[in-house]
Amino acid sequence: MQPATRRRLPERGCGTADSAAPQSAGAEDARALSDRPARKTPGVAKPIREGGREALRVARGATPTHQHLRARLAFVFAATLIVDAIASVLILLFERHATGTEITTLGDSVFWTSTQLLTVSSQLPNPISTPARVLDVFLQAYAISVVAMLAGSFGAFFHRRGLERDAPNGPGSA
């Protein structure tokens, strides 16, 4: 086996007196020294502007695709508010008299339930009573399911939106 030889890269100007390439403060000189090809990339403002316009189209329901996403988002939001309200009352009923619990008021139960639904948890300890623990498992499963459903909804939206924008050129084209 032959020993591996290292290929030495050409030196670039580093601002020292013995540098092969002269240094200049100009942008063109910096591009000339770069090993990256010159690219015409869009600025950041255009994609952000387009994203904002697309969000407004969803809010207005500009196309059937936008209406479909808006309906899905509204359903998930309303269902989550209902689950949050019911679970907050239930967790208060299950936990308020348990020894060692920190969920003793309606505010505590709304806070704990909301953080469980956001899948971020809270600084309050897990519930102590058995019914509250079962409810906690349900809330976590619901939150994970909502995240998966939202991911699918956005995926379907982007797919259909791409088909709308880049429609095939005529009948019979695949």
Mean pLDDT confidence for 106-117: 92
**pLDDT tens for each residue of 54-96:** 899 999 988 999 999 999 999 999 999 999 999 999 999 999 8
Domains in the chain: ranges and CATH: 64-165 (1.10.287.70)
Whole-number mean pLDDT of the chain? 81
pTM exceeds cut of 0.85: no
Is a pLDDT exceeding 50 seen at residue 162? yes
In the chain, % of residues over pLDDT 70: 72
**Please, are residues 23 and 15 in contact by the beta-carbon 8 Å criterion?**
yes
CA distance 95 to 4: 69
Is a pLDDT exceeding 80 seen at residue 103? yes
Cα dist. 173→40, 164, 165, 168 in Å? 32, 15, 15, 6
Is a pLDDT exceeding 90 seen at residue 119? no
Give the residue from 92, 159, 167 showing the smallest Cα distance to 131. Answer: 92
The pLDDT-based confidence of 170 (bands split at 50, 70, 90) is low
**pLDDT tens for each residue of 8-25:** 555 554 444 444 545 545
